[in-house]
Amino acid sequence: MAGRAELGQRGEDEAARYLKRLGYRIISRRERVLRGDIDIIALDGRTVVFVEVRSRSSTAHGHPVETIDQKKQRRLVDLANAYIRRHRLEDCSVRIDVVTVTFETPVPQTRWRLRQPRPLVEHFQNAFDSPW
């Protein structure tokens, strides 16, 4: 099984590919703001989208989106607001999305090789109430 950092990186890579297929333009990844990171910043048409990515190896302990509590939501809003101020985007349409990526355990394909299943990617637009 992959380590936490590797799993997170793989999840962010999958999420970015998924968003690009939907037509989003990726502006930044792992943007450092206020001693925190915004996983992905993208444009969906004319809307600036701040994307939190949650990656898990299974749903045995609940769905990945369930790990975003009120404290994390407030933190995401604070990070997004700091980015907006820094880049003078106050007049832009903004939202916060969550993309979850679940990697299931490889399943046997033959005696000698394991088949990696495709990760399950789920996208939650406007994932929670924000002040915009």
- Whether 16 is covered by a domain: the verdict is yes
- Whether 68 is covered by a domain: the verdict is yes
- Higher pLDDT, residue 87 or 6: 87
pTM: 0.85
> Angle at the Cα of 36 (from 33 to 41), degrees rounded to 5?
60
- Whether 123 is covered by a domain: the verdict is no
Rounded average pLDDT over 52-59: 87
Asked whether the predicted pLDDT for residue 61 surpasses 90, the reply is no
Structural domain span for residue 49: 4-118
- Whether 124 is covered by a domain: the verdict is no
> Distance of CA 13 to CAs 9, 54, 62, 86, Å?
6, 12, 22, 26
Supply the pLDDT for residue 8. Answer: 86
In 3-state terms, what secondary structure has residue 33? strand
| Six-digit token string for 126 | 């406007």
Q: What is the pLDDT of residues 62-85, one digit of tens each?
A: 788 888 999 999 999 999 999 999
Asked whether the predicted pLDDT for residue 118 surpasses 80, the reply is no
- Whether 62 is covered by a domain: the verdict is yes
Instruction: Kindly report the CATH number assigned to the domain that includes residue 38.
Output: 3.40.1350.10
Long-range contacts for 119-123 (Cβ within 8 Å, ≥24 apart)?
119/10, 119/11, 119/14, 121/14, 121/15, 121/18, 122/65, 123/18, 123/19, 123/22, 123/97, 123/98, 123/99
In 3-state terms, what secondary structure has residue 83? helix
Q: In total, how many domains does the chain have?
A: 1
Rounded average pLDDT over 118-132: 83
Q: What is the pLDDT of residues 93-112, one digit of tens each?
A: 999 999 999 987 655 666 66
